[in-house]
A and B are shown apart, each in its own frame.
Chain A
């Protein structure tokens, strides 16, 4: 049984973030379905926003889990989250309109199995392990599905495995130029895995503050959105990709500036080209 280390007490309770995160991200993913209605991918950016919301929730979950003395385990938590998530997202995507719901259910099952294995077989005996891994798997799955929906304009499997290529003026569909055929899904996997763990990994320490960590989570999400938006130029309509890119850049600029402000608030001192301040009484 590990000892629980308190990190940054106070702030919004975790269960509240969980509910907002789950409901918010599923609704946002469903909003990308407007693309199918409108027959144009102008609403692809909702997928990225779903990923941002999910990442904020996932960061709080990692903070919860890793407060049990898992210092170097923070990046691993991100990997297992997206590893479980990518399987659930790809399976879920094959179910058409039900994709987001099925993805969440499958991810919960995978996360529960992973959590039970970690507690019962590996004997880590962390009380919140099963619940946290369920949450992390769902977050990972929504992140993958959201960013994939943003890149190719749909969360349906068929859209992810068909791409267009123009040869000598003729446009033909091919598997090689699709999201999955071109392995862009691998890039999305890594983007999510680093983004989900980075915020807590970067902010851990005795002076950790929830608002700063969660602001960083949103920043990581928007940063991932920017690069996925650039890659989406290869899959969707140019104007739709520009809309996505502009929204992600605005979101990133806002959260990045806000994060620097919060870091300034929490830092001991904010110095430019100053010598080492030896603590009083000497080292």
Chain B
């Protein structure tokens, strides 16, 4: 019994770390226009909309975060093998992984923007300087929290995988959670405010992203503020719940039966599928497809 209570405590802690990681990951990727909002940012100059949005495309989010977290975990593992204290090892590993992330981000922005020279999109060096550092800071939080979580899972819950492999698995999961949950907030609610709500993105509006702010011109830091409000917390809850339920079912139900966690896992998925379906139907009924206003207001 005591072991289960200890396990649940670790599970809650891991879930909390995962929530922080998810939130930071989504803000980082939205500032860099990574993931699905990227296609429109990439397209905008080709349609004549020159912009000051950061555009760092390093694969999709899941493979990119698979690398950052696996790298952070691998370096931390190597430092621990050199008899360095685990906390220091995880901090150093994450910092070096963030260095790699920052270098990749700068080369991605320079490469893509230089290749769009034909459409008159200049390279804005101030964007590179101010936004790369912000994405690096967020990436550090995401990587550190995830590697720390993996270390907890191994050292406190006795997971048999080595740290780098667990880092790879959870890094891909982190990227997938941020990409699936957070990006729609940014892509559809922020980039396309020029379109009417619910109108979708017709081909004629492709690339017509929001480039000007209430005052002055918008850059990706403004998108960071927006993401930190909605998309980030949503991604955080998503990844936190994934980690929590994943560990909770094993910690609690493995005692009773070896098949217990698997049955509970299937049950949890079913419950979430029913909730998702209910929310979708409710939203469709209440907000519906876009229709023209019935009467012109004054």
- A residues within 8 Å of B by Cβ? 75, 78-79, 163, 165-166, 176-177, 181-184, 186-187, 190-191, 193-194, 197-199, 201-208, 212-213, 216, 219-220, 223, 227, 230-231, 233-234, 256, 259-260, 262-264, 266-279, 282-283
User: B interface, how many residues as a size bin?
Assistant: 35 or more
Q: A223-B103, A271-B123, A276-B51 are in contact. Are A203 and B111 (CB under 8 A)?
A: yes
Contact with A along B52-83 (1 / 0, CB 8 A): 10000111100110110011011101110111
Specify which of A78, A163, A207, A278 is in contact with B115 (CB 8 Å cutoff).
A207
User: What residue of chain A has the Cβ atom nearest to residue B211's Cβ?
Assistant: A276
Distance in angstroms between the alpha carbons of A223 and B98 in the assembled complex: 12
B126 located at the interface, meaning its Cβ lies under 8 Å from any Cβ of chain A in the complex: yes
Please name 30 pairs of A and B residues whose Cβ atoms are closer than 8 Å in the assembled complex, sorted by A: A78-B63, A79-B63, A177-B81, A181-B162, A182-B77, A183-B74, A183-B161, A184-B77, A184-B78, A186-B165, A190-B63, A190-B66, A190-B67, A190-B70, A190-B71, A194-B104, A201-B108, A202-B58, A207-B114, A207-B116, A213-B111, A227-B71, A231-B78, A233-B78, A234-B81, A267-B110, A269-B122, A274-B122, A275-B217, A276-B51
Number of A-B contacts (CB under 8 A): 189
Contact with A along B92-122 (1 / 0, CB 8 A): 0000110010011001101111111111111
Among A75, A203, A227, A274, the one with the most B-chain Cβ atoms within 10 Å of its Cβ is A227
Among B73, B117, B118, B168, the one with the most A-chain Cβ atoms within 10 Å of its Cβ is B117
- Whether B110 pairs with A263 at a CB distance below 8 angstroms is yes
Closest 8 pairs between A and B when the two form their complex, measured CB to CB: A205-B115, A187-B74, A202-B111, A269-B122, A183-B165, A75-B59, A203-B111, A268-B117
- Whether A206 pairs with B118 at a CB distance below 8 angstroms is yes
B194 to chain A, nearest CB (A): 12
Q: A191-B71, A194-B104 are in contact. Are A212 and B164 (CB under 8 A)?
A: no
Main secondary structure of the interface of A (DSSP, over half): helix
